[in-house]
Amino acid sequence: MEKSVEERISKSLIWLCVLAFFSVLNETVFNVSLPDIAAQFGIEPSVANYINTSFILSFAVGTAVYGKISDIYGIKKLFFISVLIYGGGSLIGLLFHFWFPALLAARFIQGAGASAVPGLIMVIVTRSIEKQHQGKAFGMIGSTVALGEGFGPVLGGWIADYIHWSYLFFLPMMTLVTLPFFLRTLPDEPVKKGGLDVPGCLLFVLGIASFTLFTTHYEWWYLIISVILFIGFVLRIRGAKEPFLEPALFKRKRFIVGVLVGGILLGTVAGFMSMIPYMMREVHQMSTSLIGGSVLFPGTIGVIFFGIVGGSLVDRRGARFVMIAGLLLLGAGLLIVSLFADSTPWIISGALVLIFGGLSFVKTVISTIVAGSLSADESGSGMGFLNFSCFLAEGLGIAIVGGLLTQLRLNFPILPMVTDVAAYLYSNLTLLLLAAVIIGGAIFLIAFREGKASLDK
């Protein structure tokens, strides 16, 4: 019987990858279309950016909530509901694209549905696939996620230029075709006794929302409210009978280090990737379509190879080996960009292949070691918290890089081989991001300095 269930889960992996691709694609696909939306409605760019902010808010909240309630209500039912919500939000956006408030509502609903996908996929792998094969599964899914993130601006720019930006809402509706396959392949799970810690959930959700608003608007009172809510959340989970997040998770080194290092590294790369379009346009005078199709796309294609290889290496050589390889790829790519920021764009494109490859390795390792630190009953809330932490870190990385680009505090010569004045800022900022990668890698290696055995068992 167990073998039959595992075979059914394995057959559904391809559909999990399809779903993961379209869920993360929707995070970035609207980026290049925001100027077109602002022009159509006659609004300021800051207002148009709410198209992405509304999605990010509900997505960040949902990643934490879905993982927890999967422990109670089961994965199959939640997958069915979340895909319907995702498709419904997309349909609203497609039909009412001429009314800006409807666009905001549609993006918020999309985020509420799409946020279930990353967390529930990790829960499926954690619960249903043997530990010796989890690295390969996480590698496949991680490759798909990274490909979706990188392919979003390319596809979004093409559709906006040659058709119309409103048709971007049609893409997520393709996820509805996965429903029959999940209903047939995913096993039924009994509803467990117990309930959702509603006060704890509300404190956590509102804390996330306030913190996300702070990273978007830089209003300090958002941060103060967020801190107060998180203090209340900590007090709540320490006293609740069935807390929203088990306090025991924060006593495990593997879990804490995995979440911390994952946040540092993924946030750093996300910030770097948000810088690339500005650098290529200002330093190399490249168009948006050329940046997406020629500079970013080769790296996103390489992600497929690196993700599969990384997953297999985790299973064969161990997580420590793959993490070191990923750190070396990330470091080499960032160093090349910093040294040759004003050289030919194709050097930058080659460096991005290394960076995307290192990102695939890192994601696979982080998912594997965190999953290995969780029991079956903790997999939902634990993996949900990992997804939330990494997603929030990516948002913070983008916000921090955007602030540094605006303030111009790093706009001075450091490296003698960078001679173009326009490239100073980008070269120096990349050096700063390289330092963040070194710090994240050092935390990981120090925490697991005992060697491979202590990390993988």
Do residues 373 and 122 lie in contact, with contact meaning Cβ atoms separated by under 8 Å? no
Q: How would you label 106-119 residue by residue, b for 16+ Cβ within 10 Å and e otherwise? A: bbbbbbbbbbbbbb
How many beta carbons lie within 10 A of that of residue 88, not counting itself? Answer: 17
pLDDT of 1 over the 50 cut: no
Q: Quick one: pLDDT at residue 2?
A: 45
- Report how far residue 137's alpha carbon sits from residue 139's, in angstroms, rounded to the nearest whole number: 5
- Report how far residue 81's alpha carbon sits from residue 175's, in angstroms, rounded to the nearest whole number: 12
Q: Quick one: pLDDT at residue 371?
A: 77
User: Tens digit of pLDDT for each residue in 113-125?
Assistant: 888 777 677 667 7
Q: Which of 215, 221, 288 is nearest to 52 (CA)?
A: 215
Q: Does an H or E element contain 171, and which? A: none
> Could you tell me the two tokens for 409?
């505090």
Q: Quick one: pLDDT at residue 44?
A: 66
Do residues 384 and 68 lie in contact, with contact meaning Cβ atoms separated by under 8 Å? yes
Q: Quick one: pLDDT at residue 441?
A: 92
Rounded to 10 degrees, what is the CA torsion of 83, 86, 90, 93?
150
| DSSP code string of 43-73 | --HHHHTHHHHHHHHHHHHHHHHHHHHHHHH
Phi/psi of residue 344, nearest 5 degrees: -60, 140
Percent of the chain with pLDDT over 90: 11
pLDDT of 437 over the 90 cut: yes
> Could you tell me the two tokens for 166?
């409103």
pLDDT of 177 over the 80 cut: no
How many beta carbons lie within 10 A of that of residue 144, not counting itself? Answer: 26
The most confident of 59-68, 158-167, 187-196, by mean pLDDT: 158-167
pLDDT of 5 over the 50 cut: no
- Report how far residue 57's alpha carbon sits from residue 108's, in angstroms, rounded to the nearest whole number: 8
- Show contacts of 163-170: CB within 8 Å, 24+ apart: 165/30, 165/33, 165/36, 165/37, 165/97, 166/93, 166/94, 166/97, 167/94, 168/29, 168/30, 168/33, 169/90, 169/91, 169/93, 169/94, 169/97, 169/106, 170/90, 170/94
Least confident of 100-104, 252-256, 327-331: 252-256
Least confident of 225-229, 244-248, 341-345, 417-421: 244-248
**CA 263, 264, 267, 270 torsion: positive or negative?**
negative
Q: Quick one: pLDDT at residue 330?
A: 94
Average of per-residue pLDDT values in the chain: 77
Task: Report the Cα 452 to chain-centroid distance in Å.
Answer: 27
Q: Which of 330, 353, 317, 315 is nearest to 440 (CA)?
A: 330
- Report how far residue 438's alpha carbon sits from residue 117's, in angstroms, rounded to the nearest whole number: 31
Over residues 383-399, mean pLDDT: 74
150 or 110: which leads in pLDDT = 110
The verdict on pTM exceeding 0.75 is no
Least confident of 89-93, 325-329, 434-438, 445-449: 445-449
- CA gyration radius, the chain: 21
- Report how far residue 19's alpha carbon sits from residue 13's, in angstroms, rounded to the nearest whole number: 10
Do residues 230 and 212 lie in contact, with contact meaning Cβ atoms separated by under 8 Å? no
Do residues 139 and 309 lie in contact, with contact meaning Cβ atoms separated by under 8 Å? yes
105 or 75: which leads in pLDDT = 105
- Report how far residue 28's alpha carbon sits from residue 23's, in angstroms, rounded to the nearest whole number: 10
361 or 385: which leads in pLDDT = 361
310 Cβ neighbours under 8 A, 6+ residues apart:
135, 139, 142, 322, 325, 326, 360, 361, 364, 365
> Could you tell me the two tokens for 230?
């998180």
pLDDT of 252 over the 50 cut: yes
Do residues 82 and 113 lie in contact, with contact meaning Cβ atoms separated by under 8 Å? yes
Q: Quick one: pLDDT at residue 151?
A: 72
Largest distance between two CA atoms of the chain: 66
pLDDT of 335 over the 80 cut: yes
Over residues 224-245, mean pLDDT: 84
Q: How many residues does the chain have?
A: 457
